Structure 1
Amino acid sequence: MSIQSSIQARDTFSSTTIRSILSDVYAADKANTDNKIDSSTIVSLIRKATARRIDSAAQFSQAARPDLAEKEQREADFLSQFLPPLLPEAEIDQILRDVIPEQTSQFQGDPRRALGQVLKAFYAKVDRSSVDPNHVKRRAEALLLE
């Protein structure tokens, strides 16, 4: 179901969920006074909103509130249909293996000190919205220690 059709069909679940995301997008756009936000920022906002809902669903489940947990999980599932797939781990590793030698050459003693430069070079090649930043950091740390 598209955004416009769910609002026009007066589907309260879909339209409420979409409006909450639009509120986040408008706030981010207003905070960015330089120019309009790009699509990768919008994807990041949707990913964060989905993650928040998944976390909330888990907390509601632990608090014995299955009704609220189910609502949050439904919203997370609904939002996830608007997200592009994340890069596979093998592709992330390959890109990291390409940038690590370039960035670690100046840090001969401790390659972990190069982590910031490795991540910077990685994100110069890859859109942030197509990866989980925490996963990329863990993979970079693991590859630096090899």
Structure 2
Amino acid sequence: MTLKDQITEDMKNAMRAHDSERLGTIRLLLAACKQKEVDERIVLDDAAVIAIVDKLIKQRNDSVTAFTQAKRMDLADKEAAEIKVLQAYLPQRLSLEEVTAAVQAIVAQLGATGPGDMGKVMGAVKAQLAGKADMGQVSTAVKAALAG
């Protein structure tokens, strides 16, 4: 069963359980997937669905920050609840130590030496760790590896 099929099943289960908050978040995710398929005329694989989930979580995190600064805790709590629903569709994330080790291995493999190689390293790291790690952590680890 693909990740998209699992999300569709979860939507049906949320409908049956009359769980409107979960249902709304899942529908939003499926709409984003469908939009990507229509725009690019492709069928999404699991990696592409994970990338969409990552993007939606990042948007929600940005919203939580903005709502918290504006002292709108009701809206921040709603966004945080959506994040919890979306995180269920992500694979197990790598720890900071695992990310750092993987980045250092790729830097050594590519023979990268300084900040000028950042793009080359990020391209290789993104291909290897996409969906498995938070890209913010990855970027920090790459900067640290290239600086030292």
Q: TM-score range by the shorter chain?
A: 0.7 to 0.9
- How does 1:15-94 map onto structure 2 within 5 Å? 15-33=23-41, 35-94=42-101
Distance 1:49 1:123 in 2: 18
Cα displacement string for residues 88-146 of structure 1 (whole angstroms, at most 9, x for unaligned residues): 122222222222123236xxxx622222222233234x241112223212211111121
Specify the alignment match of 1:118 in structure 2. 121
Residue 99 of structure 1 aligns with which residue? 106
Structure 1: distance between partners of 2:131 and 2:40: 18
- What is the CA-CA distance between 1:25 and the residue it aligns to? 0.5
Measure how far apart 1:66 and its partner are. 2.0
Deviations along 1:26-51, whole A, 9 cap, x unmatched?
01111222x31221111121122122
Aligned residues: 140
The code of the aligned residue for 1:14 comes to R
Identical-pair percentage: 24
Distance 1:129 1:2, change over 3 A: same
CA gap of 1:62–1:87, structure 2 versus 1, over 3 A, is same
Task: Give distance in 1, aligned partners of 2:73 and 2:126.
Answer: 39
Aligned twin of 2:11: 3
In structure 2, the partner of 1:129 is 131
Residues 74, 117 of structure 1: alpha-carbon distance in 2 compared, 3 angstrom cutoff: same
Paired letter, 2:59? R
The two structures, once aligned, show a CA RMSD in angstroms of 2.1
Alpha-carbon distance in 1 for matches of 2:64, 2:123: 33
TM-score, scaled to structure 1? 0.82
Matched, 1:144 2:146: yes
Distance 1:141 1:29, change over 3 A: same
Given that residues 50 and 80 in structure 1 are in contact (C-alpha distance below 8 angstroms), is that contact kept between their aligned partners in structure 2?
A: yes
SS at match of 2:131: helix
SS at match of 1:10: coil
The structure-2 alpha-carbon separation of the partners of 1:57 and 1:112, relative to structure 1 and needing over 3 Å to count, comes to closer
Q: Helix, strand or coil for the counterpart of 1:40?
A: helix
3, 8, 12: which is aligned to 2:20?
A: 12
Runs ≥4 in structure 1, deviation > 4 angstroms?
Answer: none
